[in-house]
């Protein structure tokens, strides 16, 4: 039986303990491409409606750090874009609305975006955007303003980046993977390597895009996941909530490489239109617990177990063309930025 990554999150009526998050949709130049379209939605960790797909990755040696659990499974659509297009990733916790909390207010940390040919290879992920601690606190021992909480969560889950200028369609295909990520440091005062009850929480999520046009710019050598981050990195083990006896942080070093010089030097939020697709969850038919995949059908709201199998991530080295996605209706010239 083929494992299908369904497009559901925890039901809107169910609240999970931690305000974790993942991408529910993508806007191109402000136009929504559809809920869960072209997104490699992470695996659900339990049956509907009590499981959820928004857990973090904490083990820096895990293959799941590449695109989260199920990130190796290609989805049926890609989003067509051109160099210079504005992409707005719509992150949420348990529903795709402006009232959703997006991520817990304590989950301070950086946000990052990488770009890689699809399928990714060794050292193929190139950083094209990042934001970390961008403003110090005005009160003693305050956390300051961070990308995850003071920017993305405060702006209804919107993370903005632009497709690099002149980007060339891929060698075998025109497809790329965008690896968007948020890192929560509320337990980052200790290394996960030394204390598995703590450690920084990584939320990677990958989106399939197809670049069209006559660009000639190729991606340089990048980094690999896993491999790009290490427990010795100062941005991985970092205390965002210092005690009164310790100094407040004045700087923060974002993990990973520097942003590629071919990326846009700045990215500003743009106004987005209405969403296209569901805003809450539907039932899902498979989930993964400790590498065991369970398949089920539903009779009303009750799950009937059909079969189980062992899941092991298997990243293909050969590109498989997904089903075509209708050409987006987004205007081709990015609109003027709007600061929120």
Pairwise CA distance, residues 179 & 144, whole Å: 26
Whether 225 is in a domain gets the answer yes
- Looking at residue 338, its pLDDT comes to 35
Radius of gyration of the chain (CA): 19
DSSP character for 199?
Answer: S
Give mean pLDDT in consecutive 10-residue pieces for the chain, a chain of 340 residues. Answer: 34 44 96 95 89 92 96 92 97 94 94 96 97 88 90 97 93 84 94 94 96 94 98 93 60 96 92 94 88 90 89 85 55 36
- Looking at residue 281, its pLDDT comes to 77
Whether 28 is in a domain gets the answer no
- Looking at residue 3, its pLDDT comes to 38
Q: Look at residues 113, 37, 116, 40 and name the one whose alpha carbon lies nearest to residue 79.
A: 37
Whether 340 is in a domain gets the answer no
Beta bridge partner(s), residue 217: 167
Q: Look at residues 331, 321, 323, 325 and name the one whose alpha carbon lies nearest to residue 80.
A: 325
Whether 5 is in a domain gets the answer yes
Pairwise CA distance, residues 304 & 308, whole Å: 12
Whether 41 is in a domain gets the answer yes
CATH number of the domain bearing residue 139:
2.70.50.70
Collect all residues with Cβ–Cβ distance below 8 Å to 259 and sequence separation of at least 6.
127, 128, 129, 130
Whether 60 is in a domain gets the answer yes
Cβ neighbours, 10 Å, residue 170:
17
Pairwise CA distance, residues 325 & 63, whole Å: 28
- 222 lies in which domain range? 1-9+33-261+272-277+284-329
- Judge whether 313 and 67 are in contact, CB under 8 Å: no
User: Per the structure, how many domains does the chain have?
Assistant: 1
- Looking at residue 244, its pLDDT comes to 53
Whether 89 is in a domain gets the answer yes
Collect all residues with Cβ–Cβ distance below 8 Å to 221 and sequence separation of at least 6.
123
Whether 126 is in a domain gets the answer yes
- Looking at residue 136, its pLDDT comes to 87
């Amino acid at each position: 039986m083929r494992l299908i990554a369904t497009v559901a999150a925890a039901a809107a009526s169910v609240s999970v303990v931690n305000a974790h998050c993942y991408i529910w949709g993508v806007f191109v130049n402000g136009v929504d491409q559809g809920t869960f379209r072209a997104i490699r939605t992470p695996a659900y960790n339990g049956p509907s409606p009590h499981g959820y797909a928004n857990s973090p990755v904490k083990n820096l040696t895990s293959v799941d750090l590449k695109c989260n659990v199920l990130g190796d499974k290609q989805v049926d659509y890609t989003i067509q874009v051109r160099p210079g297009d504005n992409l707005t990733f719509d992150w949420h916790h348990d529903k795709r609305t402006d009232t959703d909390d997006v991520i817990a207010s304590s989950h301070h940390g950086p946000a990052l975006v990488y770009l890689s040919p699809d399928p990714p290879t060794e050292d193929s992920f190139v950083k094209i955007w990042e934001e970390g601690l961008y403003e110090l606190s005005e009160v003693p021992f305050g956390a300051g303003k961070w990308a995850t909480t003071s920017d993305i969560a405060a702006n209804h889950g919107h993370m903005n980046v632009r497709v690099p200028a002149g980007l060339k369609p891929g060698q075998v295909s025109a497809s790329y993977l965008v690896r968007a990520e948020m890192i929560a440091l509320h337990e980052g005062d200790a290394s996960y390597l030394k204390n598995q009850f703590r450690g920084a929480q990584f939320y990677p999520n990958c989106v399939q895009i197809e670049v069209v046009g006559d660009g000639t710019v190729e991606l340089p050598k990048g980094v690999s996941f896993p491999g790009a981050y290490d427990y010795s990195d100062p941005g991985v083990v970092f205390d965002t909530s210092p005690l009164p006896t310790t100094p407040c942080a004045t700087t923060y070093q974002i993990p990973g490489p520097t942003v590629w010089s071919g990326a846009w030097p700045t990215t500003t939020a743009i106004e987005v239109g209405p969403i296209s697709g569901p805003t809450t969850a539907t039932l899902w038919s498979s989930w993964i617990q400790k590498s065991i995949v369970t398949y089920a059908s539903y009779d009303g709201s009750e799950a009937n177990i059909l079969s189980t199998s062992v899941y092991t991530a298997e990243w293909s080295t050969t590109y498989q063309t997904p089903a075509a996605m209708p050409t987006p209706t987004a205007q081709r010239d990015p609109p003027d930025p709007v600061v929120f």
